[in-house]
Amino acid sequence: MKKILHKLLPRKIPCSALDIGVGETKFVSLAPSGEKPVIMFTARYPTPPGFWTEIISRKLTGGNLAEMIVQHDLGGTEIISTIGNDSVVTRHISLLKAAPKELAKAVINEAQKVMPYDTDELVVRHIMLEERAAGNQNKVEILFAALPLSLSYQYHALLKHCGLALVALDLPAIALWRLFKNELAQSEAITAIMDIGETRTCLVIAKGQQLQYTRTMPVGGALLTGSMADGFGMSIEQARAMKEEQGIILDKGSLAGAEATALQIDLSLRDGLGQMIKEIRRSLEFYAARDYAAPVRQVFLAGGTSKLKGFEQFIGEALDLPAKVVQPSSILFNASGELGYDPAMAVAYGLALREMPPDV
């Protein structure tokens, strides 16, 4: 499984990451410190509307990102990042075992089936997850990612314009796996990690530390915001603020003694929650239908939506599985404050760990 991690650079300087989500841009810097890295610095700014669309159309000039870099004197910082856009396609495929070069060619052929680009216009990377016997031959389970070369160039150019040096691009799913690898190693049970963002949920399923499956679901906290806006007859901005300040999902035992406002908030969230759970169940069922799949036994929650009061219990009851927000032990966090663990920053933490030396 160590092959999933790219070769780590033998350096002892801070490792930084930038995660530009639909709603928020997150920056994290880690530094080696004894057995575990520590958080040196974090920053968060609203992501401009249409960020990724404008990158593709080459209209973006930096905006809040450039402001963040100047304000915190981050110019020249080397970073790991990810592209949060539908232009990046990931797929799980099963291929006959072959020599590395032949396997790479086969993966590119598969990528071109879902992305109609010439070979020299496409960036394709893959990792081998598992090898299995298939009759008289062996098959390898592969996860590949593909994106247009032009998009990677445009993103690199934007970051350079803003003062950052892009070292590598990574997948959110791999970042999450990396962040929670210690917790995954504690049990051979099948674990689902769900990072619930603004408009997408990243699903990672692992057996112990063995990565099994990943999927990006088109649901997130925006569903709940929209549900509240409809329920209260208010704007999206007002509903988002209300969700963050007063949002609550009541369990059956709390309904009888709840105040009227809490009851109304809970009711206003239910439509969005129903849509979210429907998509999550569909994805878990899709995984369970795969050859050799075993049932998921527990759920780790991350992402900003996981901080909603009552969300852990709601997800657990809806899926009939233990579900909890887990603080990863791969990083030494402060007990609270900006350097404490924030589930909304999970992908950024995992990205920064990519370049952390193994002997910290």
Among 47-56, 132-141, 253-262, 336-345, the range scoring the smallest mean pLDDT is: 47-56
Residue 176 has which token pair?
Answer: 């999450």
Local confidence band at 292 (pLDDT 50, 70, 90 cut-offs): confident
For domain 221-323, say whether CATH 3.30.559.10 is its number: no
The secondary structure of residue 340, as a DSSP letter, is B
For domain 2-88+149-180+329-353, say whether CATH 3.30.420.40 is its number: yes
Which pTM value belongs to this model?
Answer: 0.92
Comparing 2-88+149-180+329-353 with 221-323, is the CATH topology the same?
Answer: yes
Taking only the tens place, the pLDDT of each residue in 336-352 is: 888 999 999 999 999 99
Higher pLDDT, 320 or 336: 320
Residues 301 and 307 sit within 8 Å (Cβ to Cβ): no
Three-state DSSP string of 209-275: CEEEEEEEECCCHHHHHHHHHHHHCCCHHHHHHHHHHHCECCCHHHHCCCCHHHHHHHHHHHHHHHH
Among 56-70, 136-150, 264-278, the range scoring the smallest mean pLDDT is: 56-70
| Angle, CA 266 vertex, CA 261 and CA 267 arms, to 5° | 100
The 10 Å CB-count burial string (b at 16+, else e) for 105-129 is ebbeebbeeebebeeeebbbbbbbb
Taking only the tens place, the pLDDT of each residue in 131-190 is: 988 778 899 999 999 999 999 999 999 899 889 999 999 999 999 999 999 999 998 899
Q: What is the pLDDT of residue 13?
A: 54
Q: What is the pLDDT of residue 341?
A: 97
- DSSP letters of 70-92? HHTT-TT-EEEE---STTSEEEE
Q: What is the pLDDT of residue 295?
A: 93
Other C-beta atoms closer than 10 Å to the C-beta of 90 total: 19
- When pLDDT is averaged across residues 190-195 and rounded to a whole number, the result is 98
How far is the CA of 327 from the CAs of 179, 192, 290, 304, 346, in angstroms? 10, 15, 30, 14, 9
Q: Kindly list the domain boundaries of the chain, sorted by start residue.
A: 2-88+149-180+329-353, 221-323
- The overall average pLDDT reported for the chain is 90
